[in-house]
A and B are shown apart, each in its own frame.
Chain A
Amino acid sequence: MTTKIPKTGVSLYSYAGEFGVSMTLEDCFAEMNDLGTQGLEILANAHIQNYPNPTEEWLEEWRRLLKVYDIIPVEYGHWVDSRMIPGRELTTQESYERLIKDIKLAGKLGFTVLRTKLGVIDFDLNPVPNWREFIEMALPLAEEHGVVMCPEIHQPTELNSKMVSDYVEFIEKTGTKHFGLNIDFGIFQTAERMVVPGFDNPPSTPEEIIPFLPYTYACHAKFIHMTEDFIEPTHPYEAIIKVLKENNWGGYMLSEYEGKNKDLAGYATDQVRKHHVMMNNFLSK
């Protein structure tokens, strides 16, 4: 059995406060290249000009940038905005049609994982009740385009919850390799957790991820503050990375900065750089 270790990357969400204002897509790629990291997450409807129909000229530029800056397209963030039409939920067919556009575009851009954000129906963040139907309809197309659709497991959801068991049950029942999980490290956050009225969920422990690793195709390496000595005081990074390494998980940890001052030029880039120093430290231990 080959030994695998997690790989690193950046979700361009980290630079959201500067993207289009003080950073172009090329600046984001150049920054990643400077960090010596390759794994890229974009948000389709933010970073693709003329989404969902980019021009040939844009596609050519995309391929040039990937090559010049040595970037690997990993995760393609997209949404099924189930209430995009006021007053009703999208039908199963309409939701499926949303997926078709994104699966094809993600495949064309070279991505392998889709962070498929589903519409939710309550404060527990339970997904729309027909998710199984439209996801199942899209599985053959996902297979054809070589992508795996992954809902994001995010605070206040816990790993050991009905929602996550429902996803796993669907994967096991269908036997699919084209639907899985994106785990956001915020579920492990031990301090300054999101305040959600009615929720007092404890953080999941890093060990709790182990049974879900076979279904986990990417992780959002969520962080909210890096200190000058490369510590993230609110997330147990050393323990998380240790568990991932010990369990031979070789997917991408994509830095996702969700702290303050995102609009302040240079602040998020400084934070992401420190985050990479920390991840590299723990990966080499």
Chain B
Amino acid sequence: MRLLEQQLIQLRGFRNAKIADNVIGFQVPIRLTYYRGVWASQLRAATVTVNGEVYANEQVFWTIDGNTIEQSELASTTDVHWNSMNTAILTVRKEGGLTPGVYDVKVSYDFSSSYLPPAIDTGYFETKGERKMVLVK
């Protein structure tokens, strides 16, 4: 197994995202800091903030274990598992991506956990991370 960084936002993998030769945006790799894995349907929409600019909902999609999942599809994706040993990638749609440089990146996401009472089964594990990130290309 490959070890990850302690922080929620992982430096390795922070880069512009391409489809063929088109830069469609940039990607932010994150770690599941929870002690067990979760199914995609347990996740709630993530928010990515870069230098104060907020990206949410359809501006962001997930890649978990090689599967691409729109945030609107998370709730119905019951067969993709995010193991705590692996990163998930949040791709932010932004024409042209980011230019090389240092960015202040924030990520927040949430998930449900059914062993908690329904009233607090989301919110309790809401997860936030913030990091100065270097984008090379």
Pick from B4, B39, B78, B119: contact of A21, CB under 8 Å = B4
| B-contact 0/1 string along A15-57, CB 8 Å cutoff | 0100111101100000000000000000101101111100000
Q: Is B41 an interface residue (CB 8 A)?
A: yes
In the complex, what distance in Å separates the CA atom of A19 from the CA atom of B36?
10
B135 to chain A, nearest CB (A): 23
Known: A21-B3, A25-B1, A46-B83. A82 touches B75 (CB 8 A): no
Stretch at the interface among B93-101, B109-117, B125-133: B109-117
Known: A79-B114, A79-B115, A81-B42. A21 touches B6 (CB 8 A): yes
Stretch at the interface among A115-123, A186-194, A213-221, A245-253: A115-123
A263 to chain B, nearest CB (A): 6
In the complex, what distance in Å separates the CA atom of A107 from the CA atom of B84?
22
Does the CB pair B83–A83 fall under 8 Å? no
Known: A21-B3, A24-B1, A49-B1. A82 touches B81 (CB 8 A): no
* Residues of chain A from 108 to 128 with CB closer than 8 A to chain B in the complex: 117-123, 125
Nearest B-chain residue to A154, judged by Cβ: B115
Does the CB pair A49–B114 fall under 8 Å? no
Known: A49-B1, A84-B112. A122 touches B117 (CB 8 A): yes
Known: A13-B35, A46-B36, A81-B39. A119 touches B114 (CB 8 A): yes
Q: Is A85 an interface residue (CB 8 A)?
A: yes
Total contacts A to B, CB within 8 angstroms? 91
Does the CB pair B115–A43 fall under 8 Å? no
Does the CB pair A21–B5 fall under 8 Å? yes
A149 to chain B, nearest CB (A): 15
Q: Is B118 an interface residue (CB 8 A)?
A: yes
Q: Is A86 an interface residue (CB 8 A)?
A: yes
List A contacts of B4 (CB < 8 A): 20-21
Nearest B-chain residue to A48, judged by Cβ: B83
Pick from B3, B41, B76, B83: contact of A22, CB under 8 Å = B3
The secondary structure that dominates the B interface is loop
Q: Is B121 an interface residue (CB 8 A)?
A: yes
Pick from B78, B81, B115: contact of A119, CB under 8 Å = B115
List B contacts of A263 (CB < 8 A): 6
Does the CB pair A84–B39 fall under 8 Å? yes
* Residues of chain A from 189 to 213 with CB closer than 8 A to chain B in the complex: none
In the complex, what distance in Å separates the CA atom of A133 from the CA atom of B108?
38
* Residues of chain A from 85 to 140 with CB closer than 8 A to chain B in the complex: 85-87, 117-123, 125
Known: A81-B39, A84-B42, A263-B6. A20 touches B1 (CB 8 A): yes
Does the CB pair A120–B85 fall under 8 Å? no
Using a CB–CB distance below 8 Å, which chain B residues touch chain A? 1, 3-6, 31, 35-39, 41-42, 65, 75-76, 78, 81, 83-85, 112-119, 121
* 26 CB-based A-B contacts, threshold 8 Å: A20-B4, A20-B84, A21-B3, A21-B6, A45-B38, A46-B35, A46-B36, A46-B83, A48-B83, A52-B81, A79-B36, A80-B114, A81-B42, A83-B112, A84-B41, A84-B78, A85-B41, A86-B41, A86-B75, A86-B112, A87-B75, A118-B115, A119-B115, A120-B117, A121-B117, A125-B115
